[in-house]
Amino acid sequence: MSTSTELEVVDGGEVELDAPAAVDHHEDDHKHPSPRQYVMVAVILVIITAVEVGMSYLEGDVDSNVLILMLLGAAAVKFFLVVSWFMHLKTDSKLLRRFFVVGLVGATLLFFIIALILHGMQNSYNVPIK
């Protein structure tokens, strides 16, 4: 909270015109979603989950790589909905959003680098001994 007052200079001295007014910028910057919006996001999450369950029954009828990509896409949409609405990342400050995104990108890059390293070493260990 910050306070602000208006001052008037009279004959070299300061005279206070208004009493301190409390200004709270926190509520203006971070408007939280209404309960109706939370329910709508929850309904969307339920619908996406139902679609995922329906997609799981397509196993054998659809190429498994396509099915995996569709399920990963649906999971990514659900992840971003939960993070932005229920974890309040949507209403957080830009600095906290940047920390989250940098951590998420860094963890993903680290995962892929380690997966590639382990995959590259896998062939040398699977050579049959003669």
- The reply to whether 51 and 8 lie within a common domain is yes
Residue 83 and residue 102 in one domain: no
Number of domains in the chain: 2
81 shares its domain with 113: no
Phi/psi for 22 (5° steps) reads -80, 130
In tens, the pLDDT along 21-46 reads 544 455 445 677 888 989 999 999 99
Identify the three-state secondary structure at position 93. coil
> Do residues 74 and 14 share a domain?
yes
One domain, residues 25 and 41: yes
Domain, as residue range, for 38: 2-91
Distances from the Cα of 11 to the Cα of 8, 15, 17, angstroms: 10, 10, 15
- Judged by DSSP in three states, 5 sits in coil
Instruction: Give me 106's structure tokens.
Output: 């860094």
Q: How far is CA 120 from CA 65, 84, 116, 128, in A?
A: 22, 36, 6, 17
Task: Tell me: do 77 and 97 sit in the same domain.
Answer: no
46 or 120, higher pLDDT? 46
**One domain, residues 66 and 126:** no
14 lies in the same domain as 35: yes
Please tell me whether residues 27 and 9 are part of one structural domain. yes
The identity of residue 34, as a single letter, is S
What is the mean pLDDT of the segment spanning 55-74? 91
Q: Which regions of 17-80 does DSSP assign to beta strands (E)?
A: 21-23
Q: Using 50, 70 and 90 to split pLDDT, how confident is the model at 68?
A: very high
Higher pLDDT: 91 or 7? It is 91
Do 48 and 71 fall within a single domain? Answer: yes
Predicted TM-score (pTM) of the model is 0.60
Is there a single domain that holds both residue 47 and residue 87? Answer: yes
